[in-house]
Amino acid sequence: MLRPHKGLDVWNEAMALTTRIYAVTEAFPKSEVFGLASQMRRAGVSVPSNIAEGAARSSTREFLQFLNVAGGSLSELDTQIEIAMRLGFVSAEQKEELDGMTDSIASKLAGLIRQQKAKIAVKGEK
């Protein structure tokens, strides 16, 4: 398959989250266009991008490395969502929706990471 990431549920959910982040940050104050809104968009884009890049790599270890980076970006985004809510840029309802999306992605990402680690253990890869 030329684009293996497209078959991954976690990639598809991360794409949906990124799209939602763009929609939510559109309503942020203009003073935040180059601040928090931009950071949230970059972190959001980083999650599916790293999953995709890792899936295209030739080794399981490389895939695992990119999955871990995606997890870090997801944690960064989670923190930024919290900041946005505390500043009043995101409503409680929006935060609840975004939290549900990030929780689902985090869970799927953790499962995929466990799966890849098990694969490495079975193969005896370095």
pLDDT tens, 43-79? 999 999 999 999 999 899 999 999 999 999 999 999 9
Handedness of CA 68, 71, 77, 83 (dihedral sign): negative
User: How far apart are alpha carbons 36 and 88 in whole angstroms?
Assistant: 12
Distance CA(79)–CA(75), nearest Å, equals 6
Helix (H) or strand (E) holding 69: helix 60-86
In order of their start, the domains of the chain are 4-123 (1.20.1440.60)
Rounded to two decimals, the pTM is 0.93
Give tens-digit pLDDT for 85-115. Answer: 999 999 999 999 999 999 999 999 999 999 9
Nearest one of 124, 126, 105 to 50, comparing CA atoms: 105
